[in-house]
Amino acid sequence: MSVHRWKKSTYSGSNGDCVEVAVLTGEVAVRDSKAPRDGRLRVSRERWGSFLGAVTSGRYEG
């Protein structure tokens, strides 16, 4: 998956505790920016959109 363009949020701090996202055909891949070779999570674009919608609506705030 290293040939894909990974993006990190512009809101990420300088401490390196971030996730990176790559948009693929039909799905989205997510990885830990501190350990990019240790594993990736792939989800459909629909599921990713639902997740982002839930986050921006405040559903995951504690």
* Residue ranges per structural domain of the chain: 1-10+18-62
Q: Which of 45, 18, 17, 13 is nearest to 29 (CA)?
A: 45
**What are the pLDDT digits (tens) for 9-38?**
877 777 767 889 999 999 999 999 888 889
With a cut of 60, say whether residue 6 has pLDDT above it: yes
With a cut of 60, say whether residue 2 has pLDDT above it: no
Q: Where are the beta strands (DSSP E) in 1-62?
A: 7-8, 19-24, 27-32, 40-44
Give the pLDDT confidence score for residue 3 in this predicted structure.
Answer: 64
Tell me the Cα Rg of the chain: 12
